[in-house]
Amino acid sequence: MNSLNDNQYIEDPGPFEARYLAFLETISTLRPSLHRYCARMTGSVMDGEDVVQEALFEAYRKLDKFDQSRPLKPWLFRIAHNRCIDFLRRRGVRDEADAAVAVPEAIEPAKPVLGTGKAVEHLVLTLPPKERACVLLKDVFDYSLEEIAELVDSTVGGVKAALNRARTKLAESSPQANSARNASPELKRIMQLYVDRFNRRDWDGVRELTSADARLNVAERFVGKFADAPYFFNYERWSWPWKLALGEVDGESVVIVLRRGADTWTPHSAIRFDVVGQRIERIVDYIHCPWVISAATTLTIAKA
């Protein structure tokens, strides 16, 4: 069974209101970097998107308290960072014992290892949350030490210390492939039935696979009961040809939404499931978030 965390900030609002969608439009240029950061912090492009969704909804609720004279990006990053830490705590990652590794503030941080950018991004999962955040913010996003200190609620000296520890560990480590998240045979069977029936537009058959209280989260559009959503209607009105297929994104079994191009089918987005017994209990559909697929490290599609 896939483990999908409850969203503590989006509590069954149904269709998202127009003002919220307008807010998302105003920060659209920041979305790629927010998602990239959260995906590397959580270790999953889909978990990362879930965290971004939480962070943006929280930011929207707090807009009336935001100081308009300050830049928006650091404020959003701090909210997203805090939601990442909450996610990691919920997943059982223990807090880093900062007091046990105190380092004088005058220390000169070690130089970045393995270059920057992509090479670092895929190694940071071996690090504790604070070290992971500091390396990503400094070596990938090029934030200053002062900006990082504010974002992670630390001091410049604390950030330097975390960077030293992280870079030392990364220099001594070797790249590790993401471990596959094995899906149960029952989950794969249900997913295959879902794909087959969805592709035939057999909506009654799809409903038979879901529990009476199944939950649906269509990222950036709807959160609530599956039975209350115009889900099938929305799929039928897409202006481009589509079909579903089984696949894996960064080792996790998912359903892939394929989009027809000029002469081939290309991956567009992903759908995750939470299955209990023989019924789907929760669906998370990222069709409005195609950047999730493009941010994935590995993607495979099962042959029909």
* Model confidence pLDDT, tens digit, residues 187-219: 899 999 999 999 999 999 999 999 999 999 999
Output the CA torsion sign for 108, 113, 116, 119: negative
Dist CA 201 CA 195 (whole Å): 10
pTM: 0.77
Looking at residue 122, its pLDDT comes to 61
pLDDT tens per residue, range 220-247:
888 899 998 999 999 999 989 999 999 9
Q: What's at 264, amino acid-wise?
A: T
Region at 184 (left for phi over 0; alpha for psi -120 to 50; beta for the rest): beta
